[in-house]
Homo-oligomer: A and B are copies of this chain.
Amino acid sequence: MAAPLPNTQQAMRRRNLSLVLHAVAAHGPLSRAAVAARIGLTRAAVSTLVDELARDGLLVELGPSRPGTVGRPGSALQLNERGPAGLGAEIGVDHLAVCAMDLGRRVRVRAQVESANRDGAPGPVLGRLAELVRRVAAEAEGEGLRPVGLAVAVPGLVARESCVVVRAPNLGWEGVDVGPALREALPGLPLTVDNEANLGALAELWLGGHDPAPRDFVHVSAEIGIGAAVVIDGRLLRGTHGFAGELGHVPVRPEGPECVCGGRGCLEQYAGEEAVLRAGGIPAEQAADGHRAPGSRIALLARRAADGDQKVRRALRGAGAALGIALAGTVNLLDPQKVVLGGALTPLAPWLLPALERELAQRLTDPARPGQDVVTVSRLGSDGPVLGAAGSVVQGVLDDPAALREDGA
């Protein structure tokens, strides 16, 4: 995102370029006149802006629009499918994923590899990721796209406005700067790093298939831990230090079991993967046997629950109730439109939801809101973070297309 601009003519033009692009992205194909009507500028002003965006390869003209529209036939505008593209990457515990997304937020290239990232040194992991990104970028260029930025999703805390992973317990990383290795491998490509729950939430906003997309919601996801992202008015709440969203460490039972964070009775102690495996009577060795990757441990739980394993079902009910208690506090505090269960929680939703919704129904203060209306399950599943990463690069282009030029002019 560009820094806030002063209210000069040039700044106004930059904002208006973005307004035109957003209008076409949301409602295109659109004629110049339709764009003008939507954003409240004159047709002449819009035409100048459109010419500029077309020259920069962001918009294309589809030829004369269909007859029957009033006035002289205008050619319909659409985002360029062969223009700038966003690259998104995800460092999972057991895999690396990369995708390239065009301005219309369609995934055009995608690659994923198994990769034992847990407890290995960060260097080789970042080397493999850089290689994968280079490959996807080259394929995207082969399709006529022009990668303009890379965003990387990591399962951990990232210091605000930096590429430093402060702590990613599931990777065994602490204070790892992801920047140098990726910048060296991909010189000149702007890079951002963000928490996977944050990027998963943004994916929900742009690609979640909601109509209309909620502007204020809490996105809850899990990969071993429990993470959440708070979206307010369509923007991520990052927090003063970039650490917002630690739903897993909301106290559920203040005198409960000790937590790795130093507290007691945190949500993670009841609804985290390890706690659920334990309560479900699945010994650590058995869970590890062929189910080392968290995704497959979640799949194991889902399969057993589907098969009618009462102990696993009871464990998931307990996790759902704990989620409901923590989320009741969250909803009472923030009054969001929706709570979205995403990521690894998606396949477990059928067994988590009843207890979760029962707690919400009992504990929400909002007189207008029955608990059942609040929670929804993401359709993106575990793809959220990598899609949100690429989508955030695209969003940067839509928000300030002029920044793509070297001089910003």
Contact = CB atoms under 8 A, between A and B. Distances in A.
A365 interface: yes
Contact of A232 (B12, B232, B243, B369): B232
A165 to B, nearest CB: 12
Contacts of A247: 332-333
Interface string A237-271: 11111111111011111100000011110100000
A230 interface: yes
Contacts of A332: 246-247, 249-250
A363 B333 contact: no
Given A240-B216, A252-B254, A366-B243, A263 B335 contact: no
A166 interface: yes
Given A251-B325, A262-B362, A363-B262, A244 B7 contact: no
Contacts of A365: 243, 246, 249, 261, 263
Nearest to A334: B244
A364 B246 CA distance: 10
Contacts of A240: 216, 335-337
Give the most central of A16, A243, A369: most B CB within 10 Å: A243
Contact of A329 (B15, B230, B329, B364): B329
Does more than half of chain A's interface fall in helix, strand or loop, or is it mixed? loop
Give the most central of A240, A241, A242, A362: most B CB within 10 Å: A240
A41 interface: yes
Contact of A12 (B12, B241, B325, B367): B12
A118 to B, nearest CB: 21
Interface in A270-291: none
A188 interface: no
A251 B335 contact: no
A332 B245 CA distance: 7
Contacts of A241: 335, 366, 368-369
A328 interface: yes
Cβ-closest 5 pairs across A and B: A239-B335, A6-B40, A250-B329, A263-B363, A246-B332
7 contacts: A7-B19, A7-B39, A249-B329, A249-B365, A251-B329, A263-B362, A264-B363
Given A8-B41, A216-B240, A264-B362, 9 more contacts: A7-B19, A216-B239, A228-B333, A232-B237, A244-B333, A246-B333, A253-B253, A262-B362, A262-B363
